[in-house]
Amino acid sequence: MSSRIYNCIAGISAKIEENKDFLTELDREIGDADHGVNMARGFHAVTEKLPQDSDDIGAALKKTGMTLLSKVGGASGPLYGTAYMEAAKIAAGKNEITAEEFGEMLAAAIAGIQKRGKAVRGEKTMLDALMPAYDAYMAAIGEGKDMAAGLDAAVEAAKEGIEFTKTIRATKGRASYLGDRSIGHQDPGATSATLTLETIRDFIRS
């Protein structure tokens, strides 16, 4: 029987594969038209490399991050790879994660993305989904809600973040070359980040 962490990451892989064409189409509008293809290829490699019988969440996340770093092209590989590897440090040696620890993992992932991408909120990147998602998650946990309810709040905030990316011009990456023409298009990275949070939420609820 596969471990829960393997099944969760396999679920993320399946969600990315399911939305591969959509993500690529979004990227065609403002980028290199390869986000969906690259992410799907990276997660396919992850599911092949990841041990299915290990419950060590930290080890699984570290392996995921290292694989994405090596297999996903463009900016997404380093950013997603760093996010998973930073989250792995919080989960090292653990086979269960508390609601508070998940918040720490999300914060670590965001900090890693900011450092690696030299990005801040409001630049039309995945941070515009992840940072409001983190704020909403921590607010929910602070109110005494459980992880699943916290993730409900996070997903809704991330979706609002996606909508926000449509209203601003890109100032990072290839999309920044378009200037004001990038306005009106949603960010592919914010979209794939939100799909990831949705999958984790649905997995926790299953």
CA distances 17 to 21, 91, 108, Å, are 8, 26, 26
Mean pLDDT of 153-162: 98
- Residue 30: the pLDDT is 64
Average pLDDT of the residues of the chain: 91
The predicted-structure confidence for 74-132, as pLDDT tens digits, reads as follows 788 999 999 999 999 999 999 999 999 999 999 999 999 999 999 889 888 999 999 99
DSSP run (H or E) holding 61 = helix 57-71
Give the percent of the chain with pLDDT over 90. Answer: 77
Supply the DSSP symbol for 74: T
Q: Would you state the structure tokens that stand for residue 52, as one six-digit string?
A: 């299915």
Return d(Cα 206, Cα 47) in angstroms, integer: 20
Q: Would you state the structure tokens that stand for residue 181, as one six-digit string?
A: 């023409």
Predicted structure pTM score = 0.93
- Residue 177: the pLDDT is 47
User: Domain total for the chain?
Assistant: 1
- 177-181 long-range contacts, Cβ below 8 Å, gap at least 24? 178/30
Of 107, 22, 97, give the one whose Cα is nearest residue 60. 97
- Residue 134: the pLDDT is 98
Cβ partners under 8 Å of residue 79, min gap 6? 113, 116, 117, 126, 189
CATH number at residue 16: 1.25.40.340
What is the residue range of 39's domain? 4-205
Of 61, 68, 23, give the one whose Cα is nearest residue 192. 23
DSSP string of 100-134, one letter each residue: HHHHHHHHHHHHHHHHHHT--TTSSSTHHHHHHHH
The predicted-structure confidence for 158-200, as pLDDT tens digits, reads as follows 999 999 998 876 665 655 545 555 576 788 999 999 999 999 9
- Residue 2: the pLDDT is 75
Q: Is the pLDDT of residue 27 over 70?
A: yes
The predicted-structure confidence for 80-91, as pLDDT tens digits, reads as follows 999 999 999 999
**pLDDT band, residue 47 (cuts 50/70/90):** very high
- Residue 175: the pLDDT is 55
Question: HSE of 66 in the Cβ direction (CA atoms, 13 Å)?
Answer: 10
